[in-house]
């Protein structure tokens, strides 16, 4: 499989690594997966819900020691007679490790471990080459800024609308330019205090993916044994 890294600049691998890791976070979680963003509850709760301060919310998001979130995802595609449903759990270990486990339908794991991305399912284990999916790569790149809490860059990429009502908040992101706008019309995130409760991704053709988050531990501190088990490689195909 071709890799664009060979033809890219020297510092790409590091960027790709960061991208891949954090990437998955939203890509898998949102329209393309599911992920609960959560941060320091005290900081975020104090700021974001009450005064509609996006900056405070972003600060809270990047301060989480670890996140475990159960999710339920519904993909509504115009071509299909009924939505596609999936459920699972997401594990996020800052700054760049992520595991997305789908338990229904079937069972699969998407593992982002630094610069390595792999997918495991009943067909075996396989490393993923993000360079072969430029669209996904672009999408991933765009979300890195969100996890970094880089408000300035976020607003360069998206038109943002943030509002809050008490502890509840809503953030709408609309891509400003191509190629992201060819893939996504908008992301609509809503939450309570420092956690995301729901995320809706709308594609240009009207298809949408709604991810809702159930039980969430936004302050999880992963132990060594837990991490080893979580990132252990499944059977080689």
Whose Cβ is closer to another protein: residue 143's or residue 231's? 143
Cα–Cα nearest to 55, from 64, 44, 40? 44
Task: Name the residues that contact another protein, by CB under 8 A.
Answer: 1-5, 7-9, 12, 24, 27-28, 31-33, 77, 79-82, 84, 104-106, 108, 110, 119, 121-124, 126, 128, 131-139, 141, 179, 182-183, 203, 207, 237
**Least distance (Å) between residue 177 CB and another protein:** 11
Least distance (Å) between residue 10 CB and another protein: 9
Rounded to a whole number of angstroms, the minimum distance from the CB of residue 212 to another protein is 16
Which residue, 118 or 170, is less far from another protein as judged by CB? 118
Q: Is 50 helix (H, G, I), strand (E, B) or coil?
A: helix
- How far is residue 186's CA from residue 175's CA, in Å, rounded to a whole number? 7
Radius of gyration for the chain, computed over Cα atoms and rounded to the nearest angstrom: 17
Rounded CA-CA distance 21/146 in Å is 13
Q: Quote the least distance from Cβ 89 to another protein, whole Å.
A: 15
Compare residues 12 and 167 and give the one whose CB is closer to another protein: 12
- DSSP conformation letters of 56-85: HHHHHHTT-SBEEEEEEEEEE-TTSSS-EE
């Amino acid at each position: 499989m071709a890799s664009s890294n060979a033809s890219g600049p020297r510092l790409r691998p590091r960027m790709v690594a960061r991208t891949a890791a954090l990437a998955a976070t939203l890509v898998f979680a949102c329209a393309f997966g599911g992920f609960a963003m959560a941060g320091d509850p005290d900081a975020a709760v104090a700021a974001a819900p009450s005064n509609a301060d996006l900056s405070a919310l972003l600060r809270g998001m990047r301060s989480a020691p670890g996140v475990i979130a159960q999710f339920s995802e519904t993909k509504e595609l115009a071509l299909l007679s009924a939505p596609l449903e999936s459920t699972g759990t997401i594990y996020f270990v800052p700054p760049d490790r992520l595991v997305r486990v789908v338990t229904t339908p079937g069972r699969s794991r998407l593992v982002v471990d630094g610069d390595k991305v792999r997918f495991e399912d009943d067909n075996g284990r396989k490393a993923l080459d993000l360079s072969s999916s430029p669209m996904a790569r672009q999408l991933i790149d765009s979300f890195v800024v969100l996890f970094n809490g880089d408000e300035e860059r976020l607003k360069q990429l998206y038109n943002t609308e943030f509002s809050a009502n008490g502890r509840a908040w809503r953030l709408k992101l609309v891509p400003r330019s191509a190629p992201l706008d060819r893939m996504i019309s908008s992301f609509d995130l809503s939450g309570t205090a420092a956690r995301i409760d729901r995320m809706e991704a709308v594609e240009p053709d009207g298809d949408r993916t709604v991810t809702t988050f159930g039980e969430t531990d936004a302050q999880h501190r992963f132990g060594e044994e837990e991490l080893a088990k979580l990132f252990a490689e499944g059977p080689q195909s």
